[in-house]
């Protein structure tokens, strides 16, 4: 790839909410990436991270009409920018 092709690039937007397009493969990768993020940040096992995600999502479903992955991660202390930065570093490499 020629780096000069990005000379005039001002911003790169990564759509994590399927608002611009959707990808079944990318959607399927999200849960594992959430687990990886929790494992790394909280020093817990993958099984503990999966349980934490499931319990947190369930708790939010009791109070919110629509629960998103971003909202679940916010409940666990991950701001949207922190969460999306992590995804931007890992998921686009796959897709």
The arithmetic mean of pLDDT across residues 79-87, rounded, is 75
Task: Report if residue 36 sits inside a domain.
Answer: no
Domain that holds residue 93: 48-95
pLDDT-based confidence at residue 84 (cuts at 50, 70, 90): confident
Distances (CA, A) of 68 to 4, 12, 16, 29, 49: 37, 23, 11, 15, 17
Of the listed ranges 6-10, 50-54, 61-65, 76-80, the one predicted with least confidence: 6-10
What does the pLDDT look like over 32-63, one tens digit per residue?
888 998 999 999 999 999 999 999 999 999 99
Whether 37 and 83 have beta carbons less than 8 Å apart is answered as yes
The number of distinct structural domains making up the chain is 1
């Amino acid at each position: 790839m020629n780096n000069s092709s990005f000379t005039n690039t001002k911003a790169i937007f990564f759509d994590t909410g399927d608002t611009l397009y959707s990808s079944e493969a990318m959607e399927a990768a999200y849960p594992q990436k959430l687990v990886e993020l929790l494992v790394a940040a909280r020093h817990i096992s993958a099984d503990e991270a999966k349980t934490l995600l499931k319990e947190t999502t369930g708790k939010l479903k009791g109070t919110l009409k629509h629960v998103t992955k971003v909202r679940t991660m916010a409940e666990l202390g991950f701001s949207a920018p922190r969460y999306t930065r992590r995804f931007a570093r890992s998921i686009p490499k796959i897709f």
